[in-house]
Amino acid sequence: MFLNLGQDFSTRVIRLPGGHMTWQKNDPNGMDALDKALRDKDYHQVDWNVLPKDTEGAPKNAEELIREFIKSIRTREKAVVLMHDTYGKEETAKALPEIITYLKKQGYEFKTIK
């Protein structure tokens, strides 16, 4: 499934593969330069703070992913959830409707980061 946000949609937000925290740990000086370059061009990087661990460890079924998600979000007032939608992650897609239902029941709102 492809989500088209329209011709007029533009974003100044990026997510680094592996997350900013991973790159910062591996190359703090290089990341300082990248952070400055992003700021100079008015880009903003965002990392996730909720992870159902769909790429970590042994493959998980939808129920296991939902449990990991609930553990990860428990204390979060605001959440940026990282889930992968690539080949081999069909269980992630299966978990998504229940995760959305859970979030709505907990009073979370869905917003576009742009």
Encode pLDDT of 67-88 as tens digits.
999 999 998 999 999 999 888 8
Whether 53 and 91 share a structural domain: yes
Domain, as residue range, for 41: 11-46
Whether residue 85 contacts residue 52, with contact meaning beta carbons closer than 8 Å, is answered with: no
Same domain, 28 and 62: no
| pLDDT, the chain, mean | 89
Residue for token pair 């910062």: 24
pLDDT in tens, 19-57: 888 888 888 788 888 889 999 999 999 999 999 999 999
Q: What pLDDT, on a 0 to 100 scale, did the predictor assign at position 1?
A: 45
41 with 59, same domain: the answer is no
- Do 39 and 65 lie in one domain? The reply is no
- 113, with CB counted inside 10 A (0-12, 13-18, 19+), is exposed
Domains in the chain, number: 2
How many whole angstroms separate alpha carbon 63 and alpha carbon 94?
Answer: 9
Q: Are residues 114 and 63 in the same domain?
A: yes
Residues 52 and 42 in one domain: no
Q: Is the pLDDT of residue 3 over 50?
A: yes
29-34: which pairs have CB atoms within 8 A and are 24 or more residues apart? none
